[in-house]
Amino acid sequence: MSDTAPPPPGPDSPAPGSSGSSGSSETLRGSEKFLQSIIENIPDMVFVKDAAELRFVRFNNAGAELIGYPAEEMIGKNDWDLFPASEAEFFIAKDREVLAGGAMVDIPAEPIDTRFNGRRVLHTKKIPILGEDGEPEYLLGISEDITERIESARAIEDARLEAEEANRAKTDFLSRMSHELRTPLNAVLGFAQLLEMDLTDESELESVRHILSAGSHLLDLINDVLDISRIDSGALSVSLDSVPVASAMDDSLVLVAAQARDAGVAIEVSEAASSIVRADRQRLRQVLVNLLSNAIKFNRAGG
């Protein structure tokens, strides 16, 4: 875009070379109309400034609608005539950077106060148009209005932060809740274990064992809720170790024994359970308890 080129002619400017043959004049006028049509139908703001005084010599319809002034009113004016001082200084500084460097300057986010559309944010590219002597003669600007895109990105970021904050609040609540529930529940289980040690009556022992089984199950449910919260927040810790499957199975069977007995379901452990696996003992027990509990729940009596 910095190749030698004449300025885009205005809609009422005389066609260059009009002193030549009428055919050449018609061709040039046709080319001018074609170029004018392209510029006016570009949905982004397109403008041209002269390099000497940085005054507008061309402004397309999209730019005029965005800024809020008719295109003909902007011709011959500079940024100081149209925008607040701070914005005009920024725009002109970028213009001079383009002209001094002789290369395109990309401005990713350029705030601009418009006449009727409030403050907008533009993605602008400014390109020097060189004359026959190789020096910048004009400056071409193309600006895309990215206000809605930025607002959408900001809304998405705000929603993400809000969701993260809500997730942290949920995790904190579940952590406190589980602590508040586990403390009295552990006390109940502790007293039940003491009763189990002292009682000799079989019916009373059976009742205490029901308390222990139900209490242990409730404690596991509380831990499951906390684990789900930790998984959501990415804070679930896993401690890998060599775990005998038989030991993990025995721990799990104790927790589902009452459920199996009430359902009339017998549980048999195969010899393969004597192997050792590398796993988190607590998580492995949770998996086994869930599998056994579902197997009992969906089995038939006597199965």
Over residues 115-144, the pLDDT tens digits come to 999 999 999 999 999 999 999 999 999 999
Can you tell me whether residue 113 is helix, strand or coil? strand
Can you tell me whether residue 129 is helix, strand or coil? strand
pLDDT in tens, 41-87: 899 999 999 999 999 999 999 999 999 999 999 999 999 999 999 99
pLDDT in tens, 177-218: 877 887 888 888 888 888 888 888 888 888 888 888 888 878
The ranges assigned to domains in the chain are 22-145, 163-297
Please indicate whether residue 275 or residue 130 has the higher confidence score (pLDDT): 130
For 116-274, where are the alpha helices, taking DSSP H only? 147-198, 202-233, 245-263
- Average pLDDT of the chain is 85
| Segment 154-171 mean pLDDT | 90
**Nearby residues of 91 by Cβ (< 8 Å), 6 or more positions away:** 79, 83, 110
* Residue found by looking up tokens 């080319």 in the block: 31
Q: What is the pLDDT of residue 77?
A: 96
Which pLDDT band holds residue 282 (cuts at 50, 70, 90)?
confident
92 vs 189: CA distance, rounded Å? 78
Which pLDDT band holds residue 5 (cuts at 50, 70, 90)?
low
Which pLDDT band holds residue 1 (cuts at 50, 70, 90)?
very low
Q: What is the pLDDT of residue 272?
A: 61
Give the C-alpha distances (Å, rounded to integers) separating 125 from 62, 77, 78, 146: 16, 20, 18, 13
| Segment 289-300 mean pLDDT | 86
43 contacts 37 by C-beta, under 8 angstroms: no
The CATH superfamily label for domain 22-145 reads PAS domain (3.30.450.20)
Would you state the structure tokens that stand for residue 207, as one six-digit string? Answer: 């009742």
217 contacts 255 by C-beta, under 8 angstroms: yes
Q: What is the pLDDT of residue 273?
A: 60
Return the ∠ at Cα 133 (arms to 55 and 12), rounded to 5°. Answer: 40
